[in-house]
């Protein structure tokens, strides 16, 4: 006789990795993950190619703009993800995003000058920003709720994989003088995934409703993003501080406008008293700030410990690798109390790891035991990110039963993430300059400065979980 209190075998199977990574679910996850990976990898991929590009077509004066133009375009594009999904659905949104990304990569591959390459980077950034935002937003609409945590873990793991493989892949193309071919490969890859997306989301459509563009809040947010991003390319010192200051004032203005209007970029509930979504987003921003340290770890490893570029690169990959491994385990946690503990513990481990790394930094740190201790504390920091990140994504997606607001809540994860990247990158650049060419001082300033930002996540996560 069948015991009705026992879970059905098919239900148990449906709640496992095997169900998520099979059939139509697999195709959907593949498209979402590949879109985020293309964006994440492209940041580091291009950084490795830039010396070869400048040597070939010139444009040294535009060096910093190659990344800045891409990031600004991506942030602006990410603001339109939820509206595009609501209007036309995931099939149209993904195909359009992959095609735009491919066009931008194609322009890069054919560019005879740095000016035209910058145009290609802007186009690529628009496509990349849509792909990054869709990675989270589509999870809620295309997959059953039981798979949200695992799918969020897979998608967010792509940021770690982008850090791991982007620099090395770009370095291979640069080594053989094939930088144009690298962008050609990106363009072809994006077009292939456009075809896969068309099939994976076949039959899905949007509501046809076109929400009005929230111009009042869009303008200060775009201007804030541009001002903060410009701090990376203006002369170091007072101009940097002015640029960052203007950006922060504009971000505050953005929040004021959002609180007073009905047509918003972030979900309405973000600004309601007592709602936890704002604290979820603040914790995402703190974790995103911690991720940015890995851009500097290879440099610190070479300058302070005399590591070879390869070993320094591997040191930089420790944080991402620990992040990826931790989140693939935490997404299987089902108890609410366990999830709350993970979200609370994540920012604490991240901050502790970064503070430990800062305290262990020494000039001439070529002692093997010091380097091993760096690996340990960076792994702790990475585990912290991995424990909290996918669960925060699910918390945002689950914050409302309204499909439109839920889609906006999911898409806003990427908006918060990209803005946090820009702010942290600008702050780190200023702190590097404050080191006055002393490698140990610059390393400590950057590490402790970023660690202070991640400490905010300890308190925001505590409030979000408590409420």
* Per-residue pLDDT tens over the stretch 336-372: 888 899 999 999 999 999 999 999 988 766 678 888 9
- Find out whether 276 and 395 touch, Cβ atoms under 8 Å: yes
Domain that holds residue 199: 22-210
Same domain, 56 and 160: yes
DSSP string, 282-335: HHHHHHHHHHGGGGTHHHHHHHHH---HHHHHHHHHHHHHHHHHHHHHHTT---
Residue-level pLDDT at 395: 86
Same domain, 139 and 230: no
- C-alpha distances out from residue 93 to 89, 189, 277, Å: 6, 17, 25
Residue 450 within any structural domain of the chain: yes
What does the alpha-carbon distance between residue 162 and residue 36 come to, in Å, rounded to a whole number?
Answer: 9
The tokens of 89 are what? Answer: 């659905």
Same domain, 205 and 256: no
Closest CA to 225 of 405, 70, 390, 349: 70
For 171-175, 224-228, 257-261, which range has the lowest pLDDT when averaged over its residues?
171-175
Question: Last residue of some domain: 220, 247, 262?
Answer: 262
The tokens of 436 are what? Answer: 């006055």
What does the alpha-carbon distance between residue 96 and residue 197 come to, in Å, rounded to a whole number?
Answer: 10
For 237, other C-beta atoms within 10 Å of its C-beta total 11
Same domain, 173 and 132: yes
Q: Is 118 helix (H, G, I), strand (E, B) or coil?
A: helix
- Find out whether 215 and 80 touch, Cβ atoms under 8 Å: no
- Reply yes or no on whether the pLDDT at 466 is more than 60: yes
- Reply yes or no on whether the pLDDT at 410 is more than 90: no
Residue-level pLDDT at 208: 61
Same domain, 286 and 411: yes
- Which residue has better confidence, 232 or 327? 327
Residue-level pLDDT at 127: 95
Q: Return mean pLDDT, the chain.
A: 84
Please state the φ and ψ torsions of residue 2, each to the nearest 5 degrees: -80, 130
- Reply yes or no on whether the pLDDT at 207 is more than 70: no
Question: Last residue of some domain: 238, 262, 286?
Answer: 262
Residue 107 within any structural domain of the chain: yes
Same domain, 219 and 256: yes
In this structure, what DSSP letter does residue 235 have? P
Termini Cα distance of the chain: 43
Instruction: Tell me, yes or no, if the pTM score tops 0.85.
Output: no
The tokens of 275 are what? Answer: 């709602």
Residue 414 within any structural domain of the chain: yes
Residue-level pLDDT at 365: 65
pLDDT in tens, 133-143: 898 888 877 88
- Reply yes or no on whether the pLDDT at 15 is more than 70: no
Confidence band (pLDDT; 50, 70, 90) for 467?
low
Same domain, 105 and 226: no
- Reply yes or no on whether the pLDDT at 12 is more than 50: no
- Reply yes or no on whether the pLDDT at 10 is more than 50: no
Residue-level pLDDT at 354: 96
The tokens of 313 are what? Answer: 């690169």
CA 150 remoteness from chain centre: 17
What does the alpha-carbon distance between residue 72 and residue 68 come to, in Å, rounded to a whole number?
Answer: 6
Q: Which residues contact 144 (CB under 8 A, 6 or more apart)?
A: 14
Arithmetic mean of pLDDT, 52-73: 83
- Reply yes or no on whether the pLDDT at 432 is more than 70: yes
Closest CA to 72 of 82, 60, 64: 64
- Reply yes or no on whether the pLDDT at 16 is more than 80: no
């Amino acid at each position: 006789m069948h015991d009705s209190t026992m879970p059905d075998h098919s239900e148990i199977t449906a709640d496992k990795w095997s169900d998520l990574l099979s059939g139509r679910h697999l195709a959907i996850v593949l498209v979402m993950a590949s879109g985020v990976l293309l964006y994440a990898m492209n940041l580091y991929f291009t950084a490795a190619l830039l010396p070869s590009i400048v040597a070939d077509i010139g444009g040294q004066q535009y060096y910093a703009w190659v990344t800045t133009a891409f990031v600004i375009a991506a942030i602006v594009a990410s603001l339109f993800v939820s509206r595009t999904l609501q209007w036309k659905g995931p099939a149209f949104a993904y195909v359009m995003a992959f095609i735009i990304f491919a066009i931008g990569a194609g322009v890069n591959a054919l560019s005879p000058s740095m000016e035209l390459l910058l145009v290609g980077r802007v186009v690529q950034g628009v496509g990349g920003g849509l792909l990054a935002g869709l990675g989270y937003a589509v999870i809620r609409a295309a997959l059953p709720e039981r798979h949200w945590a695992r799918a969020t873990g897979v998608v967010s793991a792509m940021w770690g994989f982008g850090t791991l493989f982007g620099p090395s892949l770009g370095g291979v193309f640069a080594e053989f003088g094939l930088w144009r071919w690298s962008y050609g490969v990106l363009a072809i890859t994006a077009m292939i995934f456009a075809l896969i997306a068309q099939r994976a989301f076949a039959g899905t459509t949007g509501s046809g409703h076109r929400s009005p563009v929230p111009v009042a809040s869009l303008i200060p947010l775009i201007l804030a993003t541009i001002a903060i991003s410009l701090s990376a390319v203006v002369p170091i010192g007072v101009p940097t501080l002015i640029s960052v200051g203007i950006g922060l004032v504009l971000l505050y203005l953005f929040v004021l406008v959002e609180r007073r209007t009905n047509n918003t970029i972030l979900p309405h509930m973000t600004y309601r008293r007592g709602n936890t979504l704002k604290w979820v987003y603040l914790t995402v921003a703190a974790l995103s700030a911690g991720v940015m340290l890995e851009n500097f770890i290879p440099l610190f490893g070479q300058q302070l410990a005399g590591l070879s570029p390869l070993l320094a690169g591997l040191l930089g990959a420790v944080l991402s690798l620990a992040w990826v491994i931790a989140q693939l385990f935490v997404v299987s946690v089902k108890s609410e109390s366990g999830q709350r503990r993970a979200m609370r513990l994540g920012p604490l481990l991240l901050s502790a790891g970064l503070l430990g790394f800062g305290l262990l930094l020494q000039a001439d740190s070529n002692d093997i035991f010091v380097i091993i201790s760096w690996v340990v504390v960076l792994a702790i920091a990475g585990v912290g990110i991995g424990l909290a990140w996918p669960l925060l994504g699910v918390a945002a997606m689950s914050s409302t039963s309204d499909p439109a607001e839920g889609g906006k809540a999911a898409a806003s994860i990427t908006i918060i993430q990209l803005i946090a990247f820009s702010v942290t990158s600008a702050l780190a650049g200023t702190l590097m300059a404050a080191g006055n060419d002393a490698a140990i001082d610059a390393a400590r300033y950057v590490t402790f400065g970023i660690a202070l930002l991640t400490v905010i996540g300890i308190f925001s996560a505590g409030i979000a979980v408590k409420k």
